[in-house]
């Protein structure tokens, strides 16, 4: 970290020295030593005006031997034998990046009695699946899962580690990154890799107002989490490829202060993430009763209804139906947005859809920048007309 050094013996005029800072960040302590307080902005004005007193020092950046780190690893997230589909999507992305730099694709799988699950992974193109099969890993508990992850990285030194943005993944990834004092970029929307194995990580920042491009050039491994439905999953092959490697870890490392007494399963509900057709209601609706138009259109199309943040805040719709950075990421075959302006926070959650049709009366609406088909007009006129035309088409079939 950079810092400003104060050469105390060079100070001749105390009052003039303090006034050189426009932020009042300079002050004398009781022992007459000049210090920089919390108001310092590191603007270096003091260094420019009084270079004999103030010296700016840049710490030497840490270095890492990148040749010692090899492979792109995907953490396989599963619950009771069901692999979360985001894991397969990450294997597909890992393969593209690994081929670019000539590295293998590895998968890390941990749990109890997971041999059948491990066999499934071999149908998706991984070069090697590392399996930790221990009774202590039957239920997710952060301490033993972290210990296993750390053991794997110490033994195999992957240059990149990809983790799904699930409840488990978001708990596990930052803890592992902290163990290795390396960076973690959460909820990446774009990933690429340079020839020197540096990972290009892009994600929305500052509430979605900018797209941050993040590197971790001086640390390994490089960690990133990715939401479901961001990348495409590879096709499942009939033949298995790659190999399984059974790993072991001493039981003492799997000790946990957490005891799982009971697991209560949540009621399964259909998620907008899995819908093939979605109709989205935006802030253009004047009152809650008007949303009936959206549900009528969705019924005719066999679609699910989703929404944007303003309607959630108004209490008109369930938060589980929200699309965007603070909601869900979707990738349907068809999505119809009704009265949605197209803020980047929303677009980041749906711009990978196969077909986007947008209805908005503002011809300059941002949503039209990503839409494949734009309908300029009033939703109160267009949606009922669409419903009527669809019903008429069904009669003719």
pLDDT at residue 2, rounded to an integer: 81
- Indicate if the pLDDT at residue 206 is higher than 80: no
Question: What are the φ/ψ torsions at residue 78 (nearest 5 degrees)?
Answer: -145, 155
In a domain, 260, yes or no: no
Kindly state the average pLDDT of the residues 86-108: 97
- Indicate if the pLDDT at residue 65 is higher than 90: yes
Q: Which of 2-6, 132-136, 371-375 has the lowest average pLDDT?
A: 2-6
pLDDT at residue 58, rounded to an integer: 84
Asked if residue 41 and residue 70 are part of one domain, the reply reads: no
Asked if residue 75 and residue 20 are part of one domain, the reply reads: no
- CB pairs under 8 A, 24+ apart, for 81-86? 81/114, 81/116, 81/117, 83/117, 83/120, 83/121, 84/164, 84/166, 84/228, 85/228, 85/233, 86/164, 86/165, 86/166, 86/169, 86/226, 86/227, 86/228, 86/229
Kindly state the average pLDDT of the residues 302-318: 95
In a domain, 243, yes or no: yes
CATH number at 46 reads: 3.30.70
Kindly state the average pLDDT of the residues 324-349: 92
In a domain, 261, yes or no: no
Asked if residue 229 and residue 83 are part of one domain, the reply reads: yes
Q: Is the peptide bond before 221 cis (omega within 30 degrees of 0)?
A: yes
Kindly state the average pLDDT of the residues 72-77: 98
Non-local CB neighbours of 36 within 8 Å, separated by 6+ positions: 4, 6, 25, 26
Asked if residue 135 and residue 95 are part of one domain, the reply reads: yes
In a domain, 141, yes or no: yes
Asked if residue 198 and residue 71 are part of one domain, the reply reads: yes
- Work out the number of other CB atoms within 10 angstroms of the CB of residue 50: 18
Name the pLDDT band for 205 (thresholds 50, 70, 90).
Answer: confident
Name the pLDDT band for 289 (thresholds 50, 70, 90).
Answer: very high
* Cα 302 from Cα 293, distance rounded (Å): 14
Asked if residue 367 and residue 308 are part of one domain, the reply reads: yes
Asked if residue 306 and residue 240 are part of one domain, the reply reads: no
Boundary (domain end) residue, out of 16, 38, 57 = 57
Asked if residue 113 and residue 240 are part of one domain, the reply reads: yes
In a domain, 368, yes or no: yes
pLDDT at residue 270, rounded to an integer: 86
* Cα 374 from Cα 129, distance rounded (Å): 46
CATH number at 386 reads: 3.40.50.1220
Asked if residue 74 and residue 182 are part of one domain, the reply reads: yes
Q: Which two tokens stand for residue 93?
A: 């992305």
* Cα 1 from Cα 250, distance rounded (Å): 38
Boundary (domain end) residue, out of 57, 83, 100 = 57
pLDDT at residue 396, rounded to an integer: 82
Q: Which residue is it, tokens 């253009």?
A: 284
Q: Which of 2-6, 65-69, 263-267, 278-282 has the lowest average pLDDT?
A: 263-267
In a domain, 267, yes or no: no
pLDDT at residue 1, rounded to an integer: 65
Q: Which residue is it, tokens 């088909």?
A: 373
Asked if residue 279 and residue 215 are part of one domain, the reply reads: no
Q: Could you list the residue range(s) of the whole structural domain that residue 28 is in?
A: 3-57
**pLDDT tens profile 221-265:** 999 999 999 999 999 999 998 999 999 999 999 999 999 998 888
In a domain, 244, yes or no: yes
Give the count of domains, the chain.
Answer: 3
CATH number at 230 reads: 3.40.50.620
Asked if residue 281 and residue 133 are part of one domain, the reply reads: no
In a domain, 179, yes or no: yes
Asked if residue 71 and residue 14 are part of one domain, the reply reads: no
Kindly state the average pLDDT of the residues 357-369: 96
């Amino acid at each position: 970290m950079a810092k400003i050094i104060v050469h105390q013996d060079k100070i001749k005029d105390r009052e003039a020295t303090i006034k050189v800072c426009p932020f009042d960040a300079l002050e004398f302590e009781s022992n007459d030593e000049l210090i920089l307080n919390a108001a310092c902005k590191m603007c270096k004005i003091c260094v420019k005006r009084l270079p004999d007193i103030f010296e700016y020092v840049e710490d030497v950046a840490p270095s890492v031997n990148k040749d010692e780190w090899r492979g792109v690893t995907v953490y396989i997230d599963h619950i009771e034998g069901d692999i979360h589909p985001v894991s397969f999507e990450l294997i597909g992305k890992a393969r593209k990046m690994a081929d670019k730099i000539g590295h293998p694709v590895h998968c890390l799988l941990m749990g109890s009695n997971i041999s059948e699950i491990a066999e499934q992974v071999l149908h998706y193109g991984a070069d090697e699946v590392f399996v930790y099969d221990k009774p202590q890993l039957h239920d997710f508990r952060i301490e033993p899962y972290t210990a296993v992850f750390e053991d794997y990285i110490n033994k195999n030194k992957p240059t990149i580690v990809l983790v799904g943005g699930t409840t488990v993944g978001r708990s596990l990834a930052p803890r592992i990154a902290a163990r290795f004092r390396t960076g973690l970029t959460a909820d990446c929307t774009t990933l690429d890799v340079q020839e020197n194995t540096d990972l290009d990580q892009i994600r929305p920042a500052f509430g979605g107002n900018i797209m941050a491009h993040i590197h971790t050039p001086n640390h390994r491994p490089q960690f990133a989490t990715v939401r479901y439905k961001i990348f495409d999953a590879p096709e499942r092959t009939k033949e298995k490829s790659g190999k399984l490697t059974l790993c072991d870890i001493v039981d003492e490392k799997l000790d946990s202060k957490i005891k799982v007494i009971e697991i209560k399963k949540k009621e399964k509900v259909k998620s907008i993430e899995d819908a093939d057709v979605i109709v989205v209601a935006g802030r253009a609706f004047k009152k809650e009763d008007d949303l009936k138009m959206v549900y009528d259109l969705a019924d005719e199309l066999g679609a699910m209804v989703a929404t944007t943040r303003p309607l959630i805040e108004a209490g008109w719709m369930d938060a589980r139906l929200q699309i965007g950075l603070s909601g869900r990421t979707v990738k349907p075959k068809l999505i119809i947005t009704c009265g949605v302006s197209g803020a980047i926070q929303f677009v980041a959650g749906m711009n990978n859809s196969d077909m986007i049709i947008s209805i908005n009366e503002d011809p300059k609406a941002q949503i039209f920048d990503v839409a494949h088909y734009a309908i300029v007009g009033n939703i109160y006129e267009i949606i009922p007309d669409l419903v009527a035309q669809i019903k008429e088409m069904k009669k003719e079939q």
